């Protein structure tokens, strides 16, 4: 498909998910939450007792992942083998496991075609780490959304408290640093801005401001 794509890459907690959902909703475009595919693969491996370092077995799971993204009010409902896992895949352990299997080259290859299939008219907003560099290198608009690690930890802390979770700010900051380190330093598809990406630092911006900036960039290029 040659439908237009806006790629939104960056580290975890920068606001990519929320921003991508709002933009796709405003434009009436499809949405790809690529992190969910890595999280689902990690969850499937755990449920099947597949070791996270068994690359061929994890890649086989990624290839045949029985997942469904069902459009719903306030974000997609995500199912694995017919069971809703929308909340389950958001927990810290699944996120950490996702970043471990995401470093395996054949797992990334197995998920490539699945991600590209989301590109359909009238357009796609794709959220992840390598959307602009690897998955959709010809995207007409690429954004790299960042925020300081401290600010990302504070946001995560706020979300967890709202949902009744318990964690300390310090432990969240530590997890964020470990995950950033792994995502930035892996050999395949490391987290980095595409050469033609526009970087937006959201440390001191509210979500609506970030959305407005990206929509203005799209209009400029329209």
For residue 192, say whether it is annotated as part of any ligand binding site: no
For residue 11, say whether it is annotated as part of any ligand binding site: yes
CB of 140 to ligand C5P, least distance (A): 19
Q: Does 35 bind ligand C5P (CB under 6 A)?
A: yes
Which residues share a beta bridge with 200? Answer: 145
Using the structure block, give the residue that is written with the tokens 């040659």.
2
CB of 156 to ligand C5P, least distance (A): 10
Q: Does 38 bind ligand C5P (CB under 6 A)?
A: yes
Q: Rounded to whole angstroms, how far apart are CA atoms 32 and 193?
A: 18
Q: Does 102 bind ligand C5P (CB under 6 A)?
A: yes
Q: Contact at 8 Å (CB) between 112 and 63?
A: no
Q: Does 39 bind ligand C5P (CB under 6 A)?
A: yes
Q: Contact with ligand C5P (CB under 6 A): which of 15, 95, 123, 132?
A: 95
Strands (E), the chain: 5-9, 30-33, 67-70, 77-80, 83-84, 124-128, 141-146, 198-201
For residue 7, say whether it is annotated as part of any ligand binding site: no
CA 69 and chain centroid, separation:
14
Return the residues of window 75-94 that contact ligand C5P according to CB under 6 A.
none
Q: Which of 45, 47, 35, 178 is nearest to 108 (CA)?
A: 35
φ/ψ (deg, to 5) at 67: -115, 150
165-184 mask for ligand C5P (x: CB under 6 A)? --------------x---x-
Chain residues that interact with ligand C5P, rule: CB under 6 A: 12, 34-35, 38-39, 95, 98-99, 102, 128-130, 179, 183
Annotated binding residues, written as ranges, equal 10-18
């Amino acid at each position: 498909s040659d439908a237009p794509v806006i790629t939104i890459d960056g580290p975890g907690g920068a606001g990519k998910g929320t921003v991508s959902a709002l933009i796709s909703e405003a434009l009436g475009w499809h949405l790809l939450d690529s992190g969910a595919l890595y999280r689902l693969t990690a969850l499937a491996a755990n449920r099947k007792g597949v070791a996270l370092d068994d690359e061929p077995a994890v890649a086989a799971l990624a290839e045949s992942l029985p997942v469904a993204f069902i459009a719903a009010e306030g974000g997609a409902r995500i199912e694995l083998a017919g069971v809703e896992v929308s909340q389950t895949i958001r927990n810290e352990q699944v996120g950490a496991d996702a970043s471990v299997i995401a470093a395996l080259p054949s797992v990334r290859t197995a998920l490539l075609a699945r991600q590209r299939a989301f590109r359909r008219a009238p357009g796609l907003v794709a959220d992840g780490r390598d959307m602009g560099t690897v998955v959709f290198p010809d995207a007409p608009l690429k954004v790299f959304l960042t925020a300081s690690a401290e600010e990302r930890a504070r946001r995560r802390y706020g979300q967890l408290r709202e949902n009744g979770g318990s964690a300390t700010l310090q432990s969240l900051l530590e997890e964020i640093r470990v995950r950033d380190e792994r995502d930035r330093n892996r050999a395949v598809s490391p987290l980095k801005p595409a050469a033609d990406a526009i970087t937006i630092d959201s440390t001191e911006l509210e979500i609506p401001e970030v959305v407005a900036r990206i929509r203005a960039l799209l209009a400029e290029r329209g």
